[in-house]
Amino acid sequence: MTPADDALARKRFFAITLMRLMGVAFVAIGFILIGGGFAFAGQPADRWIGVAIVLVGAFDFAVMPMLLARRWRSPKDR
């Protein structure tokens, strides 16, 4: 593995890790909004905004790392 390949793999690993961390942060912020921890747009709207943020965070945490890994997968040698 060349140093350029190693640097690229390291960048991709950090991108996937940051995607997961952002997903966790979105889920936490969404649950705080749903629970009424702070006011953003008023209580009925805050719950719906919180639900949307939780869903986006779950997608970022669970699906996006798999999509990125599939896109960046090394070609198979035949």
| 27-49 pLDDT, tens digit each | 999 999 999 888 888 888 999 99
pLDDT class for 4, splitting at 50, 70, 90?
confident
- The pLDDT tens digits of the residues spanning 48-70 come to 999 999 999 999 999 999 999 99
Give just the sign of the alpha carbon dihedral 69, 74, 77, 78: positive
- Give the whole-angstrom CA distance, residue 46 versus residue 24: 19
